[in-house]
């Protein structure tokens, strides 16, 4: 009797296991009935050739589904006569990836996008849902790759474990139509010809000579952080040896040929380095999804002259603080926090004293100049100048930095009548800015921002030091 029971149990186990294996195999082998079009490796964005015709571009770092912070950034910058450029990873991690995608697709003529590693992971999960559910599956012969023009590369992520259920869920929320539209509209790299200045937008990085002398791989454009300085074809996300250096160091002005002396690369991806603005490269991933800032770099061509201006908004901090305040209030009154309307507003993306952002997102309309506040701005400048006056700076740097942030908040939280207000109205332009040296000091950045027309070094090419000594308009309001 016992033998019979054991035999039946074993038979049932084998049967169930076989059914499970068949189910897994079916998931791995199945996929959507629709396919994605070839994605452009490089898009040439046509701009007015007449140098006297004004142009305004705003390059935005990794949004990661932080739609409301994105709206706040555009409320600060305004969007009149402006082309917005997303530098990849606008999807995933954050709560509102679909809304960010909707904004891009609803404004295709004025919103351009580079695909980051997470955006590609969403598309790859759409084509291979089984891989996202079972990342240990490594049979490359069964998966469907992403295809690109120009290089004719069939792209498969090197590490399947990075393609997970989060990416699959986002692909399902977007649906086939929007996934296809994003594949048609976005590209791996963008090129803007501003006349004398040439600007590239990529997600992770690109090397001198890319798209001129060689075609970079998708992995390099979306994952690269380090490159072997003796063999540029070898790159990695980690520093493998002393031979590997940060790729942007290869763009040092004195080492560049003449044809690249006015070429600039804007990118995201590397949040660990924060705002990283150098001679010919600008890293704009400032960790919004982790509670840092969302950064935008404005390029404006006016009467043939190209200038830049930095914009930033804080991420998460205000929302987190507001939630904690409501939770403490509920605890003190012995009530359920979900009974409070303030809590519902914040959870739904609104601040208690703020109207909900438009469902269609910011609009590309005319902007107006915002007010300046002389008293706080003057005190802010005095603090900055004091920080650069010499003496024992190490003892007071932290204190000065904290005072600077407090004053910056005061400048932004007051309207022209000196009264506190919520978010600025859509498309208002902020005027608060300090010098490049002040920005580097107050935010603790590794390098200071710069303008695009630096003095030339002895070798005839723009050098990093020349650029860092020049200035950039900076929006300091949080």
Domain membership flag for residue 421: no
CATH number, domain of 216, equals 3.60.21.10
What range defines the domain where residue 173 resides?
42-324
Domain membership flag for residue 366: no
| Total number of residues shown for the chain | 478
Domain membership flag for residue 131: yes
Share of the chain above pLDDT 70, in %: 64
Residues 423-441: pLDDT tens digits? 222 233 333 333 333 333 2
Domain membership flag for residue 400: no
Write out the chain's pLDDT in tens, 478 residues.
Answer: 677 767 677 777 766 666 666 555 555 445 556 789 999 999 999 888 888 899 999 999 999 999 999 999 999 999 999 999 999 999 999 999 999 999 999 999 999 999 999 999 999 999 998 887 776 665 666 788 999 998 777 898 877 778 889 999 999 999 999 999 999 999 999 999 998 899 999 999 999 999 999 999 999 999 999 999 899 988 888 888 899 999 999 998 777 888 899 999 999 999 999 999 998 999 999 999 988 999 999 999 998 899 999 999 999 755 655 666 777 788 788 887 677 777 667 655 554 444 444 555 677 654 443 333 344 444 444 444 444 444 444 444 444 444 444 444 433 333 333 333 332 222 333 333 333 333 332 233 333 333 343 333 333 323 333 332 344 555 545 4
Domain membership flag for residue 365: no
Domain membership flag for residue 167: yes
Encoded tokens for 377: 């701005």
Q: For the chain, how many structural domains are there in total?
A: 1
Residues 268-280: pLDDT tens digits? 999 999 999 998 9
């Amino acid at each position: 009797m016992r033998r019979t029971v054991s035999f039946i149990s074993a038979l049932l186990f084998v049967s169930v296991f076989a059914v499970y294996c068949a189910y897994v195999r079916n998931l791995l082998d199945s996929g959507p009935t629709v396919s994605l079009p070839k994605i452009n490796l490089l898009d040439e964005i046509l701009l007015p050739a007449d140098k006297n015709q004004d142009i305004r571009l705003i390059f935005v770092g990794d949004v990661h589904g932080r739609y409301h912070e994105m709206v706040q950034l555009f409320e600060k910058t305004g969007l009149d006569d402006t082309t917005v450029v997303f530098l990849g990873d606008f999807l995933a991690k954050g709560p509102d990836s679909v809304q960010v995608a909707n904004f891009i697709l609803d404004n295709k003529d004025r919103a351009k996008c580079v695909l980051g590693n997470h955006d590609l992971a969403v598309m790859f999960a759409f084509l291979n849902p089984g891989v996202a559910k079972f990342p240990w599956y490594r049979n490359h012969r069964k998966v469907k790759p992403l295809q690109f023009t120009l290089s004719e590369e069939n792209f498969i992520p090197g590490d399947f474990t990075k393609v997970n259920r989060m990416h699959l869920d986002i692909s399902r929320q977007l649906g086939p139509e929007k996934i296809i539209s994003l594949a048609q509209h976005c590209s791996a790299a963008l090129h803007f010809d501003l006349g004398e200045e040439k600007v590239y937008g990529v997600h992770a990085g690109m090397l001198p000579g890319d798209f001129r002398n060689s075609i970079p791989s998708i992995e390099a454009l979306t994952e690269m952080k380090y490159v072997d300085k003796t063999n540029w074809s070898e790159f990695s996300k980690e520093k493998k040896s002393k031979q590997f250096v940060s790729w942007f160091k290869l763009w040092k002005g004195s080492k560049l040929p003449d044809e690249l002396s006015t070429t600039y690369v804007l990118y995201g991806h590397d949040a660990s380095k924060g705002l990283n603005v150098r001679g010919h490269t600008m890293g704009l991933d400032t960790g919004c999804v982790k509670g840092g800032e969302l950064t935008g770099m404005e390029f404006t061509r006016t009467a043939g002259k190209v200038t830049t201006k930095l914009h930033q908004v804080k991420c998460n901090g205000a929302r987190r603080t507001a939630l904690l305040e409501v939770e403490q209030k509920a605890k003190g009154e012995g009530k359920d926090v979900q009974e409070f309307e303030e809590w519902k507003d914040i959870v739904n993306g609104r601040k208690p004293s703020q109207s909900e952002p438009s469902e269609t997102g910011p609009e590309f309309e005319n902007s107006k100049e915002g007010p300046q506040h002389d008293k706080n701005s003057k005190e802010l400048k005095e603090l900055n100048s004091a920080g650069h006056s010499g003496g024992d700076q190490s003892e007071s740097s932290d204190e000065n930095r904290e005072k600077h942030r407090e004053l910056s908040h005061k400048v932004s939280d007051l309207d022209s009548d000196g009264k506190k207000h919520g978010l600025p109205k859509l498309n208002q332009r902020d005027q608060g800015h300090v010098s490049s040296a002040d920005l580097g000091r107050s935010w603790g950045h590794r390098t200071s921002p710069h303008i695009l027309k630096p003095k030339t070094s002895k070798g005839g090419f723009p050098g990093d030091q020349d650029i860092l000594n020049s200035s950039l308009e900076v929006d300091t309001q949080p």
